[in-house]
Copies of this chain bind each other. A is one copy, B any other.
């Protein structure tokens, strides 16, 4: 399980998909993370330049985390938009 997140759009997609996989509504995730449902909506749609702290708490609520790595090879990126491995 390893997702790429090079922009807000990709990050939003990752969060949305994982939230759904966990069976959470936006409101449920929002409560877990201590933010508003509307904030989750904006983040998932990639339509907000979220603050890193907000993302840390949202990811933590989903039992996810950021890792920083060397930018991966073109081939990998080309295959799937924002998902490397599942």
> Which residues does A use to contact B, with CB under 8 Å?
1-8, 11, 14, 18, 49-53, 55-56, 59-60, 63-72, 84
Contact = CB atoms under 8 A, between A and B. Distances in A.
Contact of A65 (B1, B6, B14, B65): B6
Contact of A1 (B55, B63, B66, B70): B70
A11 B66 contact: yes
Contacts of A52: 8, 11, 49-52, 55
Contacts of A5: 65-68
B70 A63 contact: yes
Contacts of A72: 65
A51 B49 CA distance: 6
